[in-house]
Structure formats: C-alpha cells, structure tokens
Amino acid sequence: MKHLLIIALFVGSLATAFAQDPPPPASKPDEELKCKEADARIKQFSDANATLQAKLDAVKGDIAKAESDLAAAITSLKKCNDDIYALVGASEADVNAFRQRLGQIEGRVRELQRLTQEQLVQRQGDVRSVDRDLNALAQEQVAVLPEFFDRIVSLHGDIQRLYVKNPEKNYTVGTWAENRDCLWNIAGRAEIYADPMLWPRIWQANIEQIKNPDVIQPGWTLKVPANAPLNDDEKRAERVYWRKKRQAAASAAAEQVPTTPTPAPTGKKSEAGN
C-alpha cells in the first residue's frame, strides 16, 4: 500500500511537470518571458489569430452571398422595370430623358420659389411657362410611372401656389388724332411704363382682344400688367411679329418691281436679207 501511494505521488508530480503553463500576464514584456511563458503567449496569439481568421472568412462568405443576392436583385429589378416600361411604350432611354426633363422643371420651380412676392409678380410669365411645360410633360404616358406620378402631382401644386394676383391697371384707348394712341406710345407714357419697348407686354396681356398689334380701336379698355422686363413669351411674340413684318415688306417690294420690256430689234437688215 505504501508503494502504491509513492507511485501515485510520482505520477502526479510528472503530470504537474508536463502540464501546460498558463500564459503570462499581458503586462509582462516579451523580453522577460521564460521559454514556457513565451510558448504560451505565442500559442495564445496563434489561437486568437485563428479565431479572427475564422470570423473573417465567415464575413467574406456573407459579403460574397450579399453581392450575389444584390446582383440577382438588380437583374430582377431591371427586368421588372423593362416590363413596366413596355406597358407605357417606352425604353429605358426614354425614361431617362423624361427624368432629366422633369428634373429641369423642378429646378425652375425651385428658382421661382426663392423669389420675393414683388419679384414673383414680375415673373408670372415664367410661372405660366413652366406650368405649360409641366402640363405637356404630364400628357406623356411615361408620366404614369410610379417614379414620376407623385412628383408631377406635387410639382403641379407648387406651381399653382406661385400664381399671384397681378397689380394690373387699365387704360382706355383714345383716338390717333387726339391721343396718338398705339401700343408703342401707350407703353411709353410716363404713367404706364415710360418705356415704349415694353409694348409687347400690353399686347400679350390683351391677346384675346388685340389680334393685330398694329390695330387697336378707340374705346377699348386694355389691361396693363405690372412694369417688368419682357418675359420669354413676350420676347418670342415680339420676334414673330417683326419677322412677319419683314416678310410682308419683302413681298410688297417684290410686287412693286417694274418689269423691264424686251427691246425690239432696230438694226438694219443685212445686204443678204434684201
């Protein structure tokens, strides 16, 4: 029995001698480590590195799967969009062009929204212009796509809020003999614009009444919009007016060119012709 106890103690001491030493404290410098402590620290770092590598590999696998899922989703979305575009008879290029045009209108509306009330009064022509452009855009079938429909509806409301009452005044046309009234002279009056070049503004404000800006009738009551530079519509109308005037003048001049008669022969007959 005594021999067995001695053997057991010897085996226990060997087991203790060959057991793995715990890693040294992390605060202990590497140069102070003993061989077994250094081995334990190296194993600790190796185990930690292996654990982190396993986690990294798992993350890479997740990323690869996510990228694969994303590519599949993009392909599916493109097919879905193509099917939707086909329903409105449009291609992806058509939709991109529509998106760009709508974005331009949104930019114009934002510019108008930044104006003061006084400035906005003078830019009502621009408000009408952007309103027309949006209405034309809304008539296209692409406008019913979910991407655009709500934006167009919201934009329409924004434009309607840009309309303000124009502080117009009225002017009653007098006779040419007494008042020398024509659109040019009316616009030049000090109480109107004091600038005859603004005559197209009065013309366009009364376009339903004034069919020919060269002809206004005594007694007509004309609306006089607020004094402001000509807007794009008014400038365009003026260019068309002057172009027609030049064409009419050229046609009239061509009709008045006299025809040169062909001179009759006056020479003597030759001797051979007698």
- Residues composing the chain: 274
Nearest of 195, 123, 102 to residue 166 by alpha carbon: 123
What lies within 8 Å, CB to CB, of 106 at 6+ separation is 151, 155
C-alpha distances in Å from residue 51, one per residue of 45, 48, 58: 10, 5, 11
Question: How high is the pLDDT of residue 131?
Answer: 96
242, with CB counted inside 10 A (0-12, 13-18, 19+), is exposed
CA–CA dist 66, 59 (Å, integer)? 10
**Per-residue pLDDT in tens (0 to 9) along the chain, 274 residues:** 544 444 444 445 444 444 455 667 767 787 777 888 888 878 888 988 999 999 999 999 899 889 888 887 876 666 666 667 766 678 888 999 999 999 999 999 999 999 987 788 778 889 999 999 999 999 999 998 989 999 999 999 999 999 987 667 899 999 999 999 999 999 999 889 899 999 999 999 999 999 999 999 999 999 998 888 899 899 999 999 999 999 988 888 888 765 555 454 444 443 333 3
First-residue to last-residue Cα distance in the chain: 178
Question: Kind and range of the H or E element at 170?
Answer: strand 169-172
Residue 222 and residue 171 in contact, taking contact as beta carbons nearer than 8 Å: yes
- Which CATH number is 169-253's, of 3.40.190, 2.60.40, 3.40.1710, 3.10.350? 3.10.350
Q: What pLDDT digit, counting tens, does each position of 101-126 carry?
A: 999 999 999 999 999 877 887 788 89
Question: How high is the pLDDT of residue 87?
Answer: 67
**CA dihedral of residues 110, 112, 114, 119 (deg, nearest 10):** 180
CA–CA dist 194, 200 (Å, integer)? 14
At residue 46, what is the residue type?
S
Query: Cα angle at 237 between 223 and 230, to 5 degrees?
Result: 60
CA–CA dist 187, 202 (Å, integer)? 8
Question: How high is the pLDDT of residue 159?
Answer: 96
The one-character DSSP state at 34 is: -
CB crowding 54-83: b at 16 or more within 10 Å, else e: eeeeeeeeeeeeeeeeeeeeeeeeeeeeee
Question: How high is the pLDDT of residue 148?
Answer: 92
Tell me if the pTM is above 0.95.
no
Q: What pLDDT digit, counting tens, does each position of 42-97 carry?
A: 888 898 899 999 999 999 989 988 988 888 787 666 666 666 776 667 888 899 99
Question: How high is the pLDDT of residue 31?
Answer: 76
Nearest of 54, 3, 51, 44 to residue 24 by alpha carbon: 44
CA–CA dist 178, 232 (Å, integer)? 34
Residue 142 and residue 94 in contact, taking contact as beta carbons nearer than 8 Å: yes
